[in-house]
Amino acid sequence: MRIGILKVDSVREEFQHEFGDYPAMFRAVLANALAPGETIEFRDYDVEHGELPARVDECDAYLITGSRESVYNDLPWLEELKRFIVMLDAARHPLIGICFGHQLVAHVLGGETRAAAVGWGVGVKAAAVLEAKPWMQPYVPTVNLLASHKDQVARLPARAQVFAASDYCPYGGFTIDGHIFTLQGHPEFVKDYSRALMNMRRELLGEHVYATGVESLAQPTHEGVVARWILNFIRQAMV
């Protein structure tokens, strides 16, 4: 299996020595979720600097990373990525969207993303699984993932089916037609990186959001489970 990582942002330079960049985070969490004897190949695309696959079939699946940008910003590279998403959807090619990627897929395919009325979501956030799916192996009824976002999906695409939701984020994860899987949370983050981001944004977040977010880091997270779900979903979509 070859997964193309569509990188739409970079970890801040002062954090890269300790945490690496976003593609490295995804490679680590997905590789750790492989079954014994399985292998996976990755290819990185620097979308911010104009790099996109020349053909849809360059990789078996694609994954859009998180970003500090908003999906409604006017950016040349973003317009190119939107066109590529439409191509992938038309070809029913496997696509994974995480945080910004989740919001962008919704925005492009008929939904809407905007600044969330509840404000920033940071730290560990729980989402209830609404219906068990075959690719949810191992199954958990509630998914805890690290979060870092101020935008949310406000309206779903017509074909989207929500599989994870919470009061704070009603559209926490959705699928489209068996080939698109998206999540608002970050399975690639580690808690120390989440803490570093919150420390950096403490004034922006406000003391209550900051303190609640840091306190939430004591909760367990399910990044390994979700990584398995992503790989299972891709395998199912490739059949």
Q: 32-45: buried (b, 16+ CB within 10 Å) or exposed (e) per residue?
A: ebeeeeeeeebebb
Q: How far is the C-alpha of 59 from the C-alpha of 103, rounded, in Å?
A: 22
Cis peptide preceding 141, ω within 30 of 0: no
Give the up-direction half-sphere exposure of residue 227: CA atoms within 13 A in the CB hemisphere. 20
Q: How far is the C-alpha of 83 from the C-alpha of 40, rounded, in Å?
A: 27
Place of tokens 């995480």: 98
Q: How far is the C-alpha of 130 from the C-alpha of 125, rounded, in Å?
A: 16
Catalytic residues: 99, 186, 188
Q: Which of 180, 192, 174, 170 lies closest to 125, judged by CA?
A: 170
Alpha carbon dihedral 175, 212, 204, 156, in 10-degree steps, equals 20
